[in-house]
Chains A and B, each alone.
Chain A
């Protein structure tokens, strides 16, 4: 069974601070995805990274896929209260997704 470890599990920061969330696995995935889930809603896809070493930017969010395609990071610059939510990474293999436990982020105004 492939497992994805996310850290930290919880993160509470002040508005304007920067943060990084990590997603690590002992296995290689064909692609890795990041989702954000708000209370009472299903997860919403933020980005998919496919190539080792790939970096993708989505406004203040920067996603990186490790060279070996086993780990990924999500960096948020100048966090806003609207960034509050549960951030989930998911490794994809064929049609299956394996989810990490998530990082619960709270951005305090």
Chain B
């Protein structure tokens, strides 16, 4: 298994500002994933972040709104840009080991006011 540290754990932000979420893994992993979990909804994949290449975004998510960095095999950041109340959600960092079993950070609960 992997231990994933995500921060901040929660934040309240003003609309129009940006927030960068950090994800640190205790071992080297090839693929890191960023999910969004809106209240009462399932986990939705935002993008897959591979070291040394640009992130791959899912339909409905764009790099200008959710820029991602992956400088090495243990770290990634997700920025939520120009926030609006609709961005209020839980953002989760995840890694896969072996088959597709996923390990998650504790999540970042974002509230945009």
Contacts and interface: CB of A to CB of B under 8 A. Distances in A.
A42 B99 contact: no
Contacts of A101: 40-42
A79 B39 CA distance: 25
A72 to B, nearest CB: 15
Interface residues of A, number: 22
Contacts, number: 56
A11 B48 CA distance: 33
B12 interface: no
B101 A45 contact: yes
Per DSSP, are chain B's interface residues mostly helix, strand or loop, or mixed?
strand
A45 B103 contact: yes
Contacts of B94: 42
A12 to B, nearest CB: 16
A9 to B, nearest CB: 9
A99 B101 contact: no
Contact of B107 (A40, A95, A102): A40
Nearest to B96: A95
Interface of A: 4, 31, 33, 35, 40-45, 48, 88, 90, 92, 94-97, 99-102
Interface of B: 4, 6, 9, 31, 40-45, 48, 92, 94, 96, 99-107, 109
